[in-house]
């Protein structure tokens, strides 16, 4: 699996965000796009069925797509969707590809990862038809306890609206939480210096809250079809790297909430559910 390595390497480098050189900004969608790009990249690498669909032009992707559910009738903007092309819709003359998204968001790939990307069929952005997979990515990097109710509600509403749109669609949730003792927040303009965190309490509370989100094992039930949690250590000072935390309370390798478990389940469900589209 490549996404977590790509995510931490990309967040270790400051890039232009909202007029400043930053690693992370909570009001930017860059980190969400980094996460979703990596998940889609891994899914392409692990699903023979998806690669065959891409080669046949049967699927495209959409970014920041507003999805309307059938029941209940609600809308939500999703970070990324994998879908059938919308019949009769106008296609851009030069639609964006996975490579173009990587270039736009400063996604850092190793030489080996670039070679893997070059070997994949060309997946393009297109008009969204029937949604097959919907990704919702959230991050809790600072002020953990204050942010938790909003993050939980946003994640929980995601799978509800996706499955209200189609019970067959895969709703995938991803949560990144910061284990650092302090964090330099670009939105903190009222006091100097970094925000201080009470760790590991703040991180543990965040993980426990997200782990409590509903999950489903059958298309008639409610919950996420795949849910992953990644813990990082990042203080966002523009210099220090973003590092993966793999020790407890981060999900262990055999935990269903570990990223690799989420991706393997996602690939299996895609292959079994959509093989005949």
Residues 170-186 have pLDDT tens digits of 999 999 999 999 999 98
What is the rounded CA–CA span in Å between residue 255 and residue 264?
12
* The pLDDT of residue 216 is above 90: yes
**pLDDT score at 153:** 94
What's CA 203's distance to the chain center, in Å? 19
* The pLDDT of residue 254 is above 90: yes
**Residues in a beta bridge with 245:** 231
**pLDDT score at 267:** 97
* The pLDDT of residue 69 is above 80: yes
| CB distance 225 to 171 below 8 Å | yes
What is the rounded CA–CA span in Å between residue 77 and residue 136?
9
| Domain residue ranges of the chain, discontinuous segments joined by + | 3-274
* The pLDDT of residue 223 is above 90: yes
Confidence grade of residue 221 (pLDDT, cut at 50, 70, 90): confident
Residues 2-60 have pLDDT tens digits of 999 999 999 999 988 888 889 999 888 888 889 999 999 999 999 999 999 999 999 99
**Residues in a beta bridge with 21:** 16
- 259 φ/ψ angles, rounded to the nearest 5 degrees: -55, -45
* The pLDDT of residue 71 is above 80: no
* The pLDDT of residue 192 is above 80: no
**pLDDT score at 112:** 97
Mean pLDDT of 91-110: 84
Environment class of 149 (CB within 10 Å of its CB; exposed 0-12, middle 13-18, buried 19+)? exposed
Mean pLDDT of 240-251: 96
Residue 70 has a CB neighbour count (10 Å cut-off) of 12
Residue-averaged pLDDT of the chain: 92
**pLDDT score at 89:** 75
Smallest CA-to-CA distance from 166 within 253, 259, 274 is with 274
**pLDDT score at 219:** 78
Environment class of 219 (CB within 10 Å of its CB; exposed 0-12, middle 13-18, buried 19+)? middle
**pLDDT score at 73:** 83
**pLDDT score at 20:** 85
Residues 229-238 have pLDDT tens digits of 999 999 999 9
Q: Which one has a higher pLDDT value, 187 or 113?
A: 113
**pLDDT score at 62:** 92
Lowest mean pLDDT among 85-89, 166-170, 207-211: 85-89
pTM: 0.93
What is the rounded CA–CA span in Å between residue 189 and residue 181?
19
Smallest CA-to-CA distance from 222 within 154, 159, 130, 170 is with 159
Residues 132-148 have pLDDT tens digits of 999 999 999 999 999 99
């Amino acid at each position: 699996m490549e996404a977590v390595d790509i995510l931490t390497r990309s967040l270790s480098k400051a890039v232009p965000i909202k007029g400043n050189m930053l690693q992370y900004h909570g009001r930017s969608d860059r980190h969400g796009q980094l996460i979703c790009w990596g998940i889609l990249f891994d899914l392409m690498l692990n699903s023979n069925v998806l690669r065959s669909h891409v080669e046949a032009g049967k699927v495209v992707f959409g970014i920041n797509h507003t999805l309307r559910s059938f029941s209940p009738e609600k809308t939500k903007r999703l970070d990324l969707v994998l879908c059938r092309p919308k019949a009769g819709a106008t296609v851009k003359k030069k639609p964006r590809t996975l490579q173009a998204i990587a270039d736009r968001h400063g996604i850092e790939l190793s030489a080996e990862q670039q070679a893997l990307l070059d070997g994949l069929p060309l997946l393009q952005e297109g008009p969204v038809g029937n949604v097959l997979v919907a990704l919702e990515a959230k991050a809790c990097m600072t002020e953990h306890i204050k942010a938790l109710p909003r993050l939980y509600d946003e994640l929980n509403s995601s799978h509800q609206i996706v499955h209200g749109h189609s019970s067959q669609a895969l709703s995938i949730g991803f949560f990144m939480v910061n284990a650092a003792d302090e964090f330099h927040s670009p939105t903190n303009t009222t006091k100097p210096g970094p925000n201080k965190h009470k760790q590991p309490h703040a991180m543990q509370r965040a993980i426990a809250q997200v782990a409590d989100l509903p999950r489903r094992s059958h298309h008639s039930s409610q919950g996420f079809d795949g849910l992953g949690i990644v813990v990082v250590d990042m203080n966002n000072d523009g210099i220090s790297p973003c590092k993966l935390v793999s020790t407890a309370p981060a999900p262990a390798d055999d935990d269903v909430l570990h990223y690799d478990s989420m991706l393997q389940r996602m690939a299996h469900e895609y292959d079994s559910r959509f093989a005949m589209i």
